A = this chain, B = another copy of it.
């Protein structure tokens, strides 16, 4: 069975040596000194390894079942969920007014990477709850907040997000669910929602559904969509639970992966719902938490890559097969461990260099969310909005590929379920789809985010890289191995953006046909930037002579791999982009 170890040293490196979080002028950050974060991360790592990870394969094998209308979770899930609750982990970054720990979001992301790596399907129950908490916290009335938030922070009640319907996925304007106003100010909700993660289960007393629906007579399409709180059990004024609220599970889906999470068809049949935020402004309410939710899914993609990688390393060290062509390494054994083989190394280095770069990218993004949240900084908000589709799309696409590669290292043993490597792949696959399929992320990036503030945010990103390159030039090794390739890739990204601006005016399809490549080009530049920052930090630590020299040297070697072996993908993406819409759109529809 696979194992998992929380990468606390690497998280500490990024938080302190690279981002120097405690020194940033964001409220709450000054408390995050090295010892404090070490304590939090260490405990989260322990829970991940000891409590959550052992349930990962169990969840995959048992899955969930629908019994008499209630979803049963796999053996052990409830007990582990209790431990997560009791430790206060479900409310780590939540508002202390409602029982949260009030910690910065970055700690939630750092611990979340570990929890999710240990068991993605399990962590979706508190994960979805956190999303619903954020929506109610941002848009709820005082009464709604008082009624729902304390129980959701503690996960005594969990939450869900209900957007999709059979005929309506990305295009939410096609929604049919109806919300009819009642005399008491509530709404009667009727409709069917599909793909509702954590839609029902036996680990909490109530499930608080956030449901998008249309109030009859409102504007057509997406502009007429409102958001409602629909509890599974009516909550009485004294906070106790009343009757079932016409909410039922129509079906639990059989899926490729995340078997431990209940993906439900939810039927609402005249259910009582409470308008959350303004009528017809449901999409706006959803958007406020979209950056967080999407960054969270990006981190899930990364987390599966981490778990898969760790097990691939163990296997590559233990599995004896063939001999090192440059000289036998294990003369007393029947063969050398496969980690000696260059192509196995290539796979491990691909994974390692992606993982550490992506981790830094996710944590860097989290600092922007903390800044925007705590100070209302508009530039931070704009920058994370620009980067969010990249974080979601690039990290999940690449994260998935890395799980496939980790599985490959096991050969045939990776294909049988017994070893657990297949599960990482099957679980990671959903991250490319949910919370906006990655093609939609690319569309969001090119269609909306690139033009944010008239393009100023994109320019600010390029300036950031330019300044970094300028400020850190001078060290011959860093220049050649990091700064120069970073500059070149950033220039390619600018060239692509320029092409979109110029050709997109003639035909928007020129930009749309290149959007996916642009997202990946952007992702590589971000990881190149992260690796350059990590290299500078590692080098400076080495020169200071403090800390673990082997760790910092490894950073430089791993970063060099990324810059020389992964970053060259940018030129290919640019070339594809510059070929424009023509090759993509030239075929008649009936010729496919």
Considering only residues 402-421 of chain A, those with a C-beta below 8 Å from chain B are 404, 407-408, 411-412, 414-418
Does A167 lie at the interface of the complex (its beta carbon under 8 Å from any beta carbon of B)? yes
Tell whether A425 is near chain B: CB-to-CB under 8 Å: yes
CA gap between A270 and B83 in the complex, in Å: 54
Given A433-B414, A512-B342, check contact A326 B584 (CB 8 Å). Answer: no
A153 within 8 A of B: no
- Asked if A587 contacts B554 (CB within 8 A), the reply is yes
6 contacts between A and B (CB under 8 A): A194-B412, A316-B592, A342-B512, A342-B515, A554-B588, A561-B583
* Contact status B313-A592, CB under 8 Å: yes
Chain B residue at minimal CB-CB distance from A343: B439
Does chain B have a CB within 8 A of A80? Answer: no
User: With A and B bound together, what is the CA distance between A470 and B583 in angstroms?
Assistant: 25
A343 to B513 Cα, complex, angstroms? 6
Question: Contact flags (1/0) for A545-589 with B, using CB distance below 8 Å?
Answer: 000001000100110110011001101100110010101111111
B557 and A579 form a contact (CB under 8 A): no
Q: Which of A281-289, A299-307, A317-325 forms contacts with chain B?
A: A317-325
Given contacts A509-B325, A571-B572, A583-B561, contact A412 B434 (CB under 8 A): yes
Instruction: Give bound CA distance, A170 to B335, whole Å.
Output: 11
Asked whether A422 is an interface residue with its Cβ less than 8 Å from the other chain, the reply is yes
Which residue from chain B places its CB closest to the CB of A329 in the assembled complex?
A: B589
Name the B residues within 8 Å of A554 (CB-CB).
587-588, 591
Contact A326 B508 (CB under 8 A): yes
Using Cβ atoms and an 8 Å threshold, which residues of chain B touch A167? 320, 334
* A448 adjacent to chain B (CB < 8 Å): no
Q: Is the CB of B415 within 8 A of A343?
A: no
B256 lies within 8 A of A343 (CB)? no
Report Cα–Cα, A320/B571, bound state, in Å: 35
- Name A513's contact: one of B322, B346, B430 (CB within 8 Å): B346
Asked if residues B439 and A408 are in contact (CB atoms below 8 Å), the reply is yes
Instruction: Report the Cα distance A200→B569, complex, angstroms.
Output: 45
A345: which of B346, B513, B550, B568 is its contact (CB, 8 Å)? B513
Bound together, the chains give a CA A349 to CA B581 distance in angstroms of 12
Residues of B with C-beta under 8 A to A339: 589, 592
CB distance B411 to A169 under 8 Å? Answer: yes
Q: How far is the CA of A561 from the CA of B585 in the complex (A)?
A: 10
Q: Across the interface, which residues of B come within 8 angstroms of A557, CB to CB?
A: 583, 586-587, 591
CB under 8 Å from chain B, chain A span 347-393: 347-349, 352
Complex Cα–Cα for A432 and B233 (A): 49
Q: Tell me if A415 and B430 are in contact (CB < 8 A).
A: yes
From B404, B432, B581, A408 is in contact (CB under 8 Å) with B432
Given the contacts A508-B325, A572-B571, A348 and B415 also touching, CB distance less than 8 Å? no
Q: Does A263 interact with chain B (Cβ within 8 Å)?
A: yes
Contact of A130 with B by CB under 8 A: no
Q: Are A579 and B550 in contact (CB under 8 A)?
A: no
Say whether A483 faces chain B, with CB atoms less than 8 Å apart. no
